[in-house]
Amino acid sequence: MIQRLQTIWLLIAAVCAILTFDLAFYSGVKLSDTNIKQFVELNALADVIIMVLTGLVALICLVTMFLFQNRKMQLRLTIVALLASIANLVIYFAETTEFTEGNILLTSIFTFIIPVFLVMAAKGIYRDEKLVKSMDRLR
């Protein structure tokens, strides 16, 4: 399990997803219901949908690491996690439109690199599947 490179990519993606619960993606000024300006940080806990998607991505990554004997399922779950992380990014950017002013923070890099690590893991899983199929043909 650990000797496969995609396990490391999945582990890093899961750790990055867990870090986004605490580290802010965006910070800025938001108008409250009573038109009072408030300084707010947007992280994974700020919105229920973002929280669920982030938790789902982290959980799928951790579960997928242990499905190394079922590569087809591992590849499917990695693609589901990839789609969820992309949806998460879209929702983050949709949430930033509610701010009157603000900046994307450096810690948002953790949110941006999750899909990158998931793509690298999917490529590794696909290569493993191709290698096993080619070895089966030789038997």
Q: Which two tokens stand for residue 111?
A: 């949110």
The total of structural domains in the chain comes to: 1
- pLDDT at 1 (0 to 100): 47
- pLDDT at 107 (0 to 100): 92
Q: Can you tell me which residue has the tokens 């690298």?
A: 120
Instruction: Please tell me the pTM assigned to this model.
Output: 0.89
Q: Which domain holds residue 38?
A: 5-138
- pLDDT at 118 (0 to 100): 97
Domain of 100, CATH number, reads 1.20.140.150
| CA 50 – CA 53 distance, rounded (Å) | 5
For 87, residues 6+ apart whose C-beta sits below 8 A from its C-beta are 53
Q: Which residues pair with 38 in a beta bridge?
A: 30
| CA 21 – CA 3 distance, rounded (Å) | 29
Q: Which residue blocks in 97-108 are alpha helix, DSSP H?
A: none
Q: Which two tokens stand for residue 96?
A: 């930033």
**From its phi and psi, is residue 39 left (phi > 0), alpha (psi between -120 and 50) or beta?**
beta
pLDDT in tens, the chain (139 residues): 445 899 999 999 999 999 999 999 999 998 887 888 889 899 999 889 999 999 999 999 999 999 888 889 999 999 999 999 999 999 999 999 989 899 999 999 999 999 999 999 999 999 988 888 887 766 5
